[in-house]
A and B are shown apart, each in its own frame.
Chain A
Amino acid sequence: MKIALVGNPNSGKTTLFNALTGSNQYVGNWPGVTVEKKSGKYKGDKSIEIIDLPGIYSLSPYSLEEVIARNYILDEKPDAIINIVDGTNLERNLYLSTQVIDLGIPMVMAINMADVMEKRDEKIDTKKLEKELGVKCVLISAVKNELNNLMETLRSLKPSEERAYLSDDVEEAIQDISSLLKDKDFKRFIAIKVLENDPKIIEKEKIEPGIISRAKELALGLGQKYDDDIESIITSKRYDFISKVTGNIYIKKHSASESISDKIDKIVTNRILALPIFVLVMTLVYYISVTTVGTMATDWVNDVLFGEIIPPAVESFLTSVNCVPWLSSLILDGIVAGLGAILGFVPQILILFVLLALLEECGYMARIAFIMDRIFRKFGLSGKSFIPMLIGTGCGVPGIMASRTIENERDRRMTIMTTTFIPCSAKLPIIAMIAGAFFNGAWWVAPSAYFLGVAAIIVSGIILKKTKPFLGEVAPFVMELPAYHIPTLGAVLRSTWERGFSFIKKAGTIIFLSTILIWFVTNFGFIGGQFRMLDTLEIEYSIAATIGRAISFIFIPLGFGDWQATVATLMGLVAKENLVVTYGIIYGFAEASEEGAEFWGTLASSFTPVSAYALLAFNLLCAPCFAAIGAIKREMNNAKWTLAAVGYQCLFAYAVALMINQFGNFLVYGIFDVLTMVAVVILLAMVYLLLRKPKAHSLKTIGGAQD
């Protein structure tokens, strides 16, 4: 038996879902989109599958969530629907309920917040409500796990009978269309949508042109009668019906006064205080997750657990059983290092997710979007994009994963694509190396790297916003601000666990496999015509070096077309700080310091300051490490988008590094050649992409969200 859970955002839907399924949950994504999909088995009967549909206000095609929810119902035809409504605010919640009733699927209405209503001495006459709506109603309290006989009621459900509750003239029009639909399922629902000229339903249900023109005719007639468009007419008739119903069923109604939430909002979203408070909260998040607790935990896992404890233990075990060198190298440098790379991020990610869950649960996250939206809109991002980028200064992986709080698909994709432009902590050794070896440790190198990152985000935002997948009017901003409340420990832990575990599972695989691959190409090679495993300082014979020699010409325009730079860049994909380590190995300093000060002299002889800065810029902006690529893949939930993101980053990095090298050479050394011309062309192209006006025709976005 399949049961779908439908309800407004903030109606307690997720709490009910958790109460029904306990730990029998599966969290994934809806196919091809970044919207989270949750399903699970009912605790009391494993044969019942419950699907938590996204929180929505209506079954219209306005948002991606609405389209997902209604497509699920139309395609999968669940056996029953639980419609959860907030009992303290029936009037608003019933709007969606009437649309679900139109579907005709057996449905039970779970009236939530029974405990709050009791406290307020508010009562609902459920018997009367059942009669008016023609569906079963059960009072529940999801928070207190008082689900009464919700599931028992479900088992004995009959399909809800078709009800004509709108005004007579509208009902006549619905009947007219409905009779033309012959033997379709969900006749009443589809007839209403056809009448409303809903393009997605018309296409999906392959409605014949004859029916469409009849619907247009009827809609026009009603439109003239009411002097409004058909959608608005049906909407207001729905509300008419709902106010008639709710007028009868409340035995006592609480009258709203200025609540605590209003008082908090008066301060938090205040004209003057909003930004300072926002900065304060963000500083706290940054301080806890990036600089203090998070770093301490991650450093411990990286340096102690996967530095001093596990590798020596494994090594001594391998030595004691006389393991062959290549296998022990594979286990130590490949598998253990790979596991370390994955698990090293876990503590930081978990701490971050706890903070995000707190922000979400208490209600402040919704206010962030409201406060910051205007600024971020200008370059195609959402107000919530700020958090991923801030976190990204610590580590791109949790940064990318923090994009989960952004509902809008396009905003989210854009955020995922641009977050790793911000230098993460693993890129700091590269910056320190370049600053020390070429610029005498000048103060401006590090700030310039952050400036470069921010500029890359803004420029990319503006350029990408004008490309097809991101094009379209910015959706006008309107969103519900949930009431502030104290987060429950259970909800915070659950959300942290879900997100953390899904990272370990999905992103872990790709990181693990790529670490082993990199281990292979850097540790094996041909020496004297013989293929064998190499010693640490024989890296120039490795497969990686061979590949480096073959493709290093690509980097000639950027000023670093030798195999060493190519291999170092490739190694940076495992973890960015490996770039420094690799240069150490190449120059014979296997045990160099973090910034590689020992070989700065050697390094300085193979670069000019200009080409060195180009190398820096390229490595800051190009594809992030495998862990971050894994996170991108996990969040995009789409191979094409992942490729597009990484491809764009590499291309952008290449263009920027080329311009830095060529214009730098021209300005500092007066060199002007063909490549300088190429740089000029790239610059002009970039300016064009920034300034061009996108074609103003309507476009279907991949997600299908309407603009």
Chain B
Amino acid sequence: MPLTFAKVNETLSIKKVMTTSARSHLKDLGFVEGENISIVQKGNAGLIVMVKGVRLALSLELASRIYVSEGDQNEA
């Protein structure tokens, strides 16, 4: 499911980053397949997420391009 549909404070795993002009930048920032991610806050402007130990704010448009699944990748 797109990141925008996920619940706050749950450990999620990134499945795929869809094509956007910022795709490679997102990957540089740590949005890579298999990486754990959690949503800290959902606001009007977008989401605040935790990836690789850093808080990142991203717009809803970008968040909808990131597909995640529930559960910790490393525990499976």
Q: Which residues of A contact B (CB under 8 A)?
A: 57-58, 60, 62-63, 88-89, 91-92, 95, 231-232, 235-236, 239, 256, 258, 261-262, 265-266, 269-271, 274, 366-367, 369-374, 473, 475-483, 706-707
Contact = CB atoms under 8 A, between A and B. Distances in A.
B6 interface: no
Contacts of B76: none
A83 to B, nearest CB: 16
B27 A235 contact: yes
Interface residues of B, number: 35
B76 to A, nearest CB: 16
Interface string B41-54: 11111101010111
A261 B55 CA distance: 9
Given A88-B53, A89-B54, A478 B25 contact: yes
6 contacts: A89-B54, A232-B23, A235-B24, A374-B59, A477-B61, A478-B25
A374 B47 CA distance: 13
Given A476-B59, A478-B62, A481-B48, A266 B41 contact: yes
A457 to B, nearest CB: 21
A89 B9 CA distance: 20
B54 A235 contact: no
Interface string B22-48: 111111111011010000111111101
The 4 nearest A-B residue pairs measured at CB: A58-B28, A477-B59, A89-B53, A370-B57
B52 to A, nearest CB: 4
B55 A95 contact: no
Interface of B: 9, 17, 20-30, 32-33, 35, 40-46, 48, 50, 52-59, 61-62
Contacts of B29: 57, 478, 480
A478 B63 CA distance: 9
Most buried by B among A95, A265, A477: A477
Contacts of B28: 57-58, 60, 62, 95, 235
B42 A236 contact: no
Contacts of B22: 62, 475-476, 478
Contacts of B52: 89, 91-92
A479 B48 CA distance: 10
A236 B44 contact: no
A478 B59 contact: yes
A477 B58 contact: yes
Q: Which residue of B17, B23, B32, B54 has the most chain A CB atoms within 10 A of its CB atom?
A: B54
B45 A373 contact: yes
A265 B40 contact: yes
A473 B59 CA distance: 14
A237 to B, nearest CB: 10
Given A89-B52, A266-B40, 7 more contacts: A232-B27, A265-B41, A370-B46, A476-B20, A478-B22, A478-B58, A706-B21
A367 B46 CA distance: 11
Given A271-B42, A476-B21, A481 B27 contact: no
Which of A89, A235, A265 has the most chain B CB atoms inside 10 A of its CB?
A235
A478 B27 contact: no
Contacts of B24: 60, 62, 231-232, 235
Contacts of B43: 269-271, 274, 370-371
Contact of B40 (A262, A371, A707): A262
Nearest to A10: B54
Nearest to B65: A476
B42 A477 contact: no
A270 B53 contact: no
A707 B40 CA distance: 28
B21 A707 contact: yes
Nearest to B26: A478
Contacts of B54: 89, 92, 480
Given A89-B52, A236-B32, A236-B33, A477 B46 contact: yes
A704 to B, nearest CB: 15
A371 B45 CA distance: 6
Contacts of B48: 265, 269, 370, 481
A17 B68 CA distance: 39
A258 B9 CA distance: 9
A619 B21 CA distance: 42
A6 B43 CA distance: 33
A41 B70 CA distance: 51
B41 A480 contact: no
Contacts of B57: 269, 366-367, 369-370, 477-481
A373 B41 contact: no
B62 A269 contact: no
Nearest to A9: B54
B55 A483 contact: yes
A373 B44 CA distance: 11
B7 to A, nearest CB: 14
Contacts of A374: 44-46, 59
A372 B45 CA distance: 8
Nearest to B60: A374
A207 to B, nearest CB: 19
A84 to B, nearest CB: 15
